Amino acid sequence: MQKKALWSGRFAGSTAEKMQQFSQSLDTDWSFFREDIAGSRAHGAMLFKMGLLSKEEQEKIDHALWEIEQEIEKGEFEPDIALEDVHMNIESRLIEKLGPMGAKIHTGRSRNDQVATDYRLFMKKRIHEVLRQQKSLLESLLKRAESDIDIILPGFTHLQHAQPISLGHFWMAYFWKYSRDLTRMMTAFDQTDQNPLGAGALAGTTLPIDRHCTAQALGFSSVTENSLDTVSDRDYLLEFLFASSTFMLHVSRLCEDLILWNTQEFDFIELPDGYCTGSSMMPNKKNPDALELMRGKTSGVVASMQDLMMNLKGLPLTYNRDLQEDKRPVFLTLKTMGEVLGILPDLLGGVQMKPDSIQPHLEKGFLLATDVAEYLVSKGVPFRETHHIVGQVVQYCLAEKKDFQDLSLEEWRQFNASVEKDLLPLLNVEAAVDRRKSFGGTARSDVKRQIEAGWSVLARLT
C-alpha cells in the first residue's frame, strides 16, 4: 500500500506517480540521514526542556530515532519515494514505531529549517575534511620549497624566458595561493556554522522554543538572526563553491606549469609513474593524465558555482522548490575536491627535477637583461635609458650570436661608458637570483624567510 505524504490532508487526490519521481530528492538528501536524526534528537531534547514534550515522550522519541539510525546503517530501512525526502521518511518511520507520539517531533519546525539544519551539519563535516587535506597540500609545498631552494630555473612571462628564479620561490608562490584558498574555505566554514533550526517555514513559531539550546546541542557556534533569511539562504554554499572554484583554478594553473615542464621541449621534470598513463597505440608515451584530469575537472567545479548562482537568481523570499536542486553541484564539487586533494600532495612529492636539462634554458632568452639595466641604474643612468641601452645590447648579441657572458668589457663600454669590471661577476644566474633581496623576491635568503613564514602560517592553522 502506498504511503501518504505527511502533508496530504489538504489534497483530495494522490500525487501522480510521474510527479513523485520528478519531485523526490532522496537520491541526494538521503546522504543527510545522520544529520537529520541528530537534528531531530536535539530538537526533541529542546522540546522537553521547554515543556512541549514530557520526559517519557522525549526519551522514547530519542531512543526510537537512535534505532532508526541503526536500521539505516544496517540497510534494514529503505526509503519510500512516495515520502519524497529523508525528513519525511524518517518521521514516518518514527510514527510507525511510536504512533501519535512520534508525530510530536515536528512541533515548532518545518522541513524548510530542517533541511537547512541537515545541510549545514553535513557541510561542516565535509569542509572540515577539505581543510585537513588543504593543510596537507600546504605542507607538501613547503617541503618541496625547502628541498628545491638551490635549483635555479627560468621564470616566465607570456611563456617567454624572463628572469632566473629559485625553484623554492616557485613552490612558495603556489603555497601562498593555496593558503589564501584555505582561508577562504575557513570563511565558508564560519558562514556554515550557524543554527537555522527553529526558523520554521519562514516566520518562526508561536510555540516556546530555544534555538540557542539546539545550537549548543548540535555544535553550532551561533544562531541565524532572521527567519526569512534563514530558510532562503544558500550563501554558505556559494562561499564553499567560490572557495573551491578559486582553489581549483590554482590547481589548474599548477597543473599547466607541470605539464609544460614535463614536455620534451622543456624537460624540466620527470613525473612519477604512478600518476601517468601510456598510449594504447604508441608504446613510447608517458602521459601526464593526473595533471590533465585535474585541469579538466576544474571546469566542473567552476560550473557548479555558476549552477547554484543561476538557481538563486531571481528567487523571491522565502523557500521555493528550486532550492531542492542545491545539492547536485555541491556534491560534485565535494567529490572533485576530495579526489584532487587526495592525489596532488603525493604527486608533488614524487616530481623529480632535472637540473642538467634545465641548465641550457638558463642560457637562453637573455635572462640577465634586467640585471644589466639595474646595474646601470646603480651607476646613475635613468632606468628608461638603461632599458633602451640593454635592448641595443640584446640586438648586438643576436646579430653576433653571442650571450652577455661572451661580451668583453670593451664591447659593453661601446654601449655605455658607465660599465666597469664589476658588471662581469654579476653575469651569472645564481648571483642574479640572490641579488633580488627585495621583500618577497626570489633571493634564496628571502625564500628561506618565506618558508619560515609558511610554517608559522601552517602552525596557526593546526
Q: What is the CA radius of gyration of the chain?
A: 31
Beta carbons of 198 and 211 less than 8 angstroms apart: yes
Residue 43 is a catalytic residue: no
Among residues 158, 280, 408, 438, which one is catalytic? 158
User: Cα–Cα distance between 439 and 457 in angstroms, integer?
Assistant: 17
User: Which is nearest to 258 in space by CA: 366, 363, 153, 359?
Assistant: 153
3-class secondary structure, 271: coil
User: Which is nearest to 376 in space by CA: 327, 333, 412, 402?
Assistant: 412
Q: How far apart, in Å, do the first and last CA atoms of the chain sit?
A: 54
Give 8-45 as a DSSP string. GGG-SSPPPHHHHHHH--HHHHGGGHHHHHHHHHHHHH
Q: How far is CA 229 from CA 59, 311, 317, in A?
A: 33, 16, 8
Determine if the peptide bond prior to 318 is cis (ω within 30°).
Answer: yes
Task: Estimate the share of the chain in helix, then strand, then coil, as percent rounded to the nearest 5.
Answer: 70, 5, 25
Determine if the peptide bond prior to 462 is cis (ω within 30°).
Answer: no
Q: Is the dihedral of CA 414, 415, 420, 424 positive or negative?
A: negative
Residue 179 is a catalytic residue: no
Among residues 279, 299, 445, 456, which one is catalytic? 279
Q: At what angle do helices 369-378 and 383-400 cross, to 10 degrees?
A: 140
355: cell is 637540473
Beta carbons of 200 and 108 less than 8 angstroms apart: yes
Q: How far is CA 197 from CA 210, 254, 442, in A?
A: 10, 41, 51
Residues assigned a catalytic role:
158, 279
